[in-house]
Structure 1
């Protein structure tokens, strides 16, 4: 992964992503998708389903198509500086991106828990917008199915992209009867992996990961089950993570909350408090095992 050396002064773009989880015989697994190599954001890297908030996300008839009141969603995000409708739009963006990129639709039909995700996907391919699909099929999005996990804000000196994002990470389990798969458009491959296995493959050069994914996987490696992750997510408000990079000896160092050089001295997640850019990858000072400290 190439290091970005540009300073970005444009405003941050609101975004949302869904970390999909499942319990497997060997333990907790995470769904990862490989972004198209020609993508201008993290091309070729493995990511969680997600993307930018669209203007139409705020325009959804939320009273008709969300399963929780906006004030509840707003409180869960713990962002006093945004409106309740903006908070609802972030949930809509997360659920829309999850559907568009992985085919997983967190929704219920009117009076029935069953939905026809294949029909919804077909309508989307025909050019119907996400809001129109929900209205046409009478669907209510299940915001209860995704739980705020963390909030990542790209610094003005991004290390792997020339854009800045304010991304809300949600955690979830894939609804019964649905299968997550890449869309063969924005993403070209997908896989379920244990968090430690994903990091091992990254370490071995088999897959590419950006720092937020590295740190999130290191965090998730401390959990043995989906229930453990969801319990932690529901027990605390999502932490804000603002990486603070600096250059040292001709290389890039990224500091996270809890590091001696970070403006926030209290750690907000397990794992290393620094990543160093070496050999075209980001790694902690103490080697692979220190990812799981």
Structure 2
């Protein structure tokens, strides 16, 4: 693939692209989504990120190592959610979104992280955080969120908790290419795991979890050991420049929208990556 800053499309995606070029197929509308890179400082290994490997049966990115996250639930935008830290309008400025979308993104980030890892960025007061989320009562709450029988706002109200948006930082913004049948408009956040909490595999979508140094994850991907999507690889490469969680949280980030696109090169269809992401990808 020398000289081409992209990934060759599969036959199925090439066929979709041709249908779209001919005007016979409209691109799927991307759904708003949030992803959170949960971080910790390990006494021996230094800065580490929590990652999950998606089960092979998943329709989207089977076998890929990913960060916790998922789509925004329409109820995530509930303006009545108890909230501490930067308001939705401030998050909207960071991510180029209106206030309602921004509120939904932050709530989805906290909700999805709890659903997939039991890490909860919320506390009983605006300046405290839950110190342990293990136990059957917490598991029951997690299942209720997963099956959508309880909204995130109802969960927080029942527990008497305040969402801590100040524990999150904006990090990145990626939009799934138009050629993909499932598309997401995903904002990336970073956060430190709260003291006393433990992340563990509680997701039916993952068959393995790991705390890993960002640089090590990048090397595993380059060596063919791990499958990482371009946004994940680019995020890990950026994080590898930092020595501690405090350094990451203090970083000044300009949020740039990355939107890979399809292009025909010498008769072949490629998914073209942004330059700053392509330089990290194996084989480019």
Partner residue, 1:105: 120
**Could you tell me how far 1:273 is from its partner in structure 2?**
4.1
Partner residue, 2:133: 117
**Could you tell me how far 1:181 is from its partner in structure 2?**
1.6
Partner residue, 2:272: 254
Partner residue, 1:263: none
Q: Deviations over 1:254-285 (max 9, x none)?
A: 231xx4xxxxxxxxx5x64475xxxxxxx243
Partner residue, 1:237: 254
**Could you tell me how far 1:26 is from its partner in structure 2?**
2.7
1:20 touches 1:174 (CA, 8 Å); kept in 2? Answer: yes
Partner residue, 2:204: 185
| C-alpha RMSD over aligned residues | 2.5
2:260 touches 2:271 (CA, 8 Å); kept in 1? Answer: no
Partner residue, 1:135: 157
Partner residue, 2:35: 17
Q: Which has the higher contact order (CA 8 A, sep 6+)?
A: 2
Partner residue, 1:45: 64
Gaps of 5+ in 1: 260-268, 276-282, 286-293
2:38 touches 2:190 (CA, 8 Å); kept in 1? Answer: yes
Partner residue, 2:102: 87
1:65 touches 1:134 (CA, 8 Å); kept in 2? Answer: no
Name the TM-score, length of structure 1 as normaliser: 0.79
Aligned residues: 257
2:54 touches 2:65 (CA, 8 Å); kept in 1? Answer: yes
1:254 touches 1:274 (CA, 8 Å); kept in 2? Answer: no
1:67 touches 1:140 (CA, 8 Å); kept in 2? Answer: no
Distance 1:35 1:48 in 2: 10
State the secondary structure of the residue aligned to 2:77: helix
Partner residue, 1:156: 178
Partner residue, 2:20: none
1:59 partnered with 2:70: no
1:39 touches 1:186 (CA, 8 Å); kept in 2? Answer: yes
